[in-house]
Amino acid sequence: MDLDREDNEMVFSIVYTLEILHNKGVLIQNTIQMSLSCLMDWYRMSGDSRYLELALLQMRACFELGILSEHNIALYTQICELAHVELEEVMKQKLGLAKRVKPNKSQVRSMIGKWMPSKDNPLTINQVVEDIIDKVVNKKEGVYYYSYKKSSRNKIEDIKRENLYKLIITKSECYFIDLHKFIVYLFE
């Protein structure tokens, strides 16, 4: 299975789509399972290998986000067998979208760009870092946003210059997303 730029861009798009689904309150694990099952069924009905290729790309996106589901291992294995690839091979083809970090000051600080308190967001960078660490370490489930806007006189430029971050904590995972650069960090 060759990695090419187009495949990498598709994986990135799938990761982004999964994030949007999560924002809409859709359970990602269930959606992935249904999607992979449908793609596998469509392949079996049509024999069109593009369905398997898309299923493999979706699996890579799951691995990127660190949301490998143990109850889907049989499904992942079936798809890999149909595509004549090893599951381990697919898992190794990560793009590195989900960077693993520890909830300590230096690593959390490195995830956040330039930060200046403002009237809209009076928190200092140290307060933001401490808040993130507290929520991750204490597993405070929820979705949290952090924002820093570099101001200009042009509203369109303001949108482009806004640094928006999202912290997502569930029972099984904690991750932080730089929505401006779309970098995903997975807390260990």
CA angle 21–66–27, rounded 5-degree value:
30
Is the torsion defined by CA of 56, 60, 62, 68 positive or negative? positive
Same domain, residue pair 88 and 26: yes
**Lookup result for tokens 């309150």:** 25
- Domain extent at residue 172: 98-187
Listed residues 92, 125, 155: the one ending a domain: 92
Give per-residue pLDDT as tens, 134-183: 999 999 998 888 887 655 444 444 444 467 788 888 887 787 877 766 67
- Our count of domains for the chain comes to 2
CA angle 101–104–108, rounded 5-degree value:
60
pLDDT of residue 37: 92
Structure tokens at 117: 């308190």
Same domain, residue pair 133 and 175: yes
Same domain, residue pair 106 and 175: yes
Listed residues 51, 68, 92: the one ending a domain: 92
Same domain, residue pair 60 and 19: yes
Give per-residue pLDDT as tens, 35-55: 999 999 999 999 999 999 999
Same domain, residue pair 124 and 75: no
Give per-residue pLDDT as tens, 54-93: 999 888 887 777 666 666 778 888 999 999 998 777 776 6
